[in-house]
Structure 1
Amino acid sequence: MKKDKREIFVEKPEKLGEKLVEEIYEREKKKAERKEFLAESERIIKEKLEKEIKLMKLDPQLADEAVKKARQIKSLNIQGKIKNLLAIAEEMGISFAVKVAEDMQDAYTLDVFHDILAREGLYKKFKK
């Protein structure tokens, strides 16, 4: 006897549950892999950025100006420091802004600044 074409195939509830669990597992696995890939990409960009910045040389007069700017923004909270560093990078270039961050002698601020430059791709937008 032929099955009616209108007959709908329905799986047993336990099989639907298994499929759902498998789909969720696969989706979460892909998310984790994507996060891992992005984190690795970000780390690589950050390392390249740090190497590139170390190779850049600043004019001695600019180095003195960087020290002055560092003193001016050193007392701000982290958001204020980062906003100022980004503004400096936009106006004076990345190497100058990194020099200012280094002259603040605040490793956390320097690390956050590097992270933002790498993560947001901002290092590509600012002059070197």
Structure 2
Amino acid sequence: MTEPARNPARRDQDVHFNLVGEGPPRYHTRTDKPVQYVSVVDKTGGAVIGYVWAGDEDDAAAWVPRDDAGGRALAEGGHWHARLRGAKERGLLPSQALAELVSSPEGNRGRVLPDSLTDAPDSDAIDTLAASDS
């Protein structure tokens, strides 16, 4: 059985392009401006597994796992990323998102350490903190 001959003009009409935006709104994940951060501790052992930081000047916020916390910290990151993404989608400033996380501190494997809200000069300082030994 042979296929019918295709009309090149018709083929062009069959092609559809959908413009895809940049995806859902997200906070920037780097800033050289001052930030605030909180420590997230493992619910079972109490060790710091990562940090959530935020800075309004560059509309930036992110989760940073501690290097020495391993897979547990990486897995926990999905929870904190999702909460930050949801806050951004609702139009919250990064500082408001951080305040929301502090007021509802429970994650899947971790929780925000009470009274851990601290200032840092920029997001690189949080990366350095996460890379240091416990």
Instruction: Give the TM-score, by structure 1 length.
Output: 0.30
Q: Between Structure 1 and Structure 2, which shows a larger proportion of helix residues?
A: 1
Instruction: Give the TM-score, by structure 2 length.
Output: 0.29
- State the structure with more CA Rg: 1
Q: Between Structure 1 and Structure 2, which shows a larger proportion of strand residues?
A: 2
